[in-house]
Every structure is written in structure tokens, then in C-alpha cells.
Amino acid sequence: MAVLKTSGKKKRRAVITIMLLIIAAAVVVSRPGILRQIKNTAQRKGAVPEGNKVPSALEQKPVRPEAMQAKPAEKPRAKLAIIIDDVGYPTPLIDKYGKFQGKLTFSILPFQPESANYARKLYGAGYEIMIHIPMEPENYPVTEPGRGALFVDDSRGEVEHKLKNIIHDIPQASGANNHMGSKATQDHTLMTHTLSYLKTEGFYFIDSLTTPHSTVKEVAHEIKMQFGYRDIFLDNHNDSVYIENQFEKLKSVAQENGTAIGIGHIQNEDLLSVLNHQARSLHEEGFELVFVSELIRN
């Protein structure tokens, strides 16, 4: 055995250190579990490499329950379309309507003093344009539907000639609806002539539903034409409270059915005020204002 060449104090310290190491080694040998515990602790702290070993379930990071749940899909927005009828008569409101922040569809009465001008102006501002086809009412001739009107006694050729002239007057239009027409829309033959020609021109048709006995839906299905129909007249009375109530009814229809079409009239300033008021909150309430062409059916 080699002799440690050191002083007395250093020699005692060396002897004590050696004895402690011998005791520790004896404990580890007699209790192998301690060795495993030391190793596992080192592995959890990253001191011992594990290669490609997959951690046990207890060692894996727990996943929060909310992270396992899929995010709920956003509820589809109910869609509203507003048609502004009778555009063509001179009105100081045309510029105000042209600044409306949202989608509106303007239906132009043909052959009126400002029909072509207003159609160009509104189309240029990004709004949708329709032709507002004058049709025979039940109380004609007491009530005159207007120039170029369709009547139940018109032949197919007369109907097509009138419609050709109307479309030529309003070339920006992509759809049509009836002006008056409580008698005309009840006539299956007249509506077949009318819708068939409009279909060949690539138009859709919206039934203003001026009578509960309209044949538009039946004919549109027969000839497989795109169509829609009015749900609510917004401004039968020129009163802002009444119009607000009608707009709320329109929203209720949209909530129930997913879509709704309302009709108002260009000369009504109260309608414009209500539209501006409603437009500010429609998105927050879960509605989307769209062009009427977005709601047509086959």
C-alpha cells in the first residue's frame, strides 16, 4: 500500500473522505432502488439522454380539456335584400340613396324622365339594377300602370316587343320585378310569355306579390327560371315608426327562413332614414345585407 505523504491535518481529512466514500458505496450496493431513483431524477432533468424513448403517460404534459374541444362553427348570418322601387321620377333623394353604405337593389321604371340617367348613376356607384315592369292592375283603367305596361290581352309577340324596348332603355339591369300587376300576374299565359322572354335574356324575376293569386312561382318552376318574391312591403305608410316596425318584421322573417326580401320606394325619405339607422347595427345583430340576385331560387 502506498503511503500518503502529507501533514497531520491533511492526512486526517483524507482518511475521513475515504471512509465516507466507502460508506456511501456500501449503501448504494445494498439498496439498488436508490440508484434507480438517482438515474430517473437525472433523466427528468435532462442529465441522462433517453435516445428515442417515448415518455410514459405520467411524464407527458397534460392537455387542457378546452384544447381538445373543436371551436364551434360560426352561425350563418341571415340575409336581407332591399329593393327600391319606382326609380325614374325626378327626386332630390337620388344622391342621398347613392351614398348609402351597403348593398341596395334599385328597380327602374322604364321611359320616365330620369330612368336612364338614374340607372347609369346608381349602377356606376356599385348598386344592383332591375327593371320595374309596369303590368295591368285589377282596377285598370282607374289606375294606370304606366308606359310600356303588359296587359292580359297582349299576344306573345306584343309582350316580347315591349320587354325588348324596356331592356333597351335600361341596359344595366340584370333582373326584373312587377310594377302593380295584380291582374297581370294572375294570368298564367301572360306570365309564361313574360318570364320565358326574360329567361332568354338572362334575367331573374322577383314577384312583388301584389296579389295572393300570383302565378309567378308556378310558371317559374315550369320553365326552370330563377325567381324570388317579396316578403315585406316596408313603406305602405310614410311614417318612420311604421317603417321601423316593418323592417323588424323583415328581420324576423330572415331569422326564421335564413333570407328575406323587402320592398320600399325611392320617394320616401323616412325609408332612407330607417335604412341608414338599421344598417349601423345589422352586422352586430347577425344579419347580412345583400343584393336581391344573391337570394334568387331555381
CATH architecture under which domain 78-295 falls: Alpha-Beta Barrel (3.20)
- Domain extents for the chain? 8-43, 78-295
Tens-digit pLDDT profile for residues 91-122: 999 999 999 999 999 999 999 999 999 999 99
- Give residue-wise pLDDT tens across range 216-265: 999 999 999 999 999 999 999 999 999 999 999 999 999 999 999 999 99
Strands 105-108 and 128-135: parallel
Angstrom distances, CA of residue 195 to CA of 55, 85, 181, 230: 71, 19, 14, 17
pTM comes to 0.76
- Asked if residue 141 has a cis previous peptide bond (ω within 30° of 0), the answer is yes
pLDDT tier, 11 (very low <50, low <70, confident <90, very high otherwise): low
Stronger pLDDT, 67 or 124, i.e. the higher one: 124
Residue 57 pLDDT exceeds 50: no
At residue 11, φ and ψ (nearest 5 deg) are -65, -40
CA distances from 130 to 2, 107, 122, 255, 293 (A): 113, 4, 11, 26, 10
Residue 253's CB is within 10 A of a number of other CB atoms, namely 17
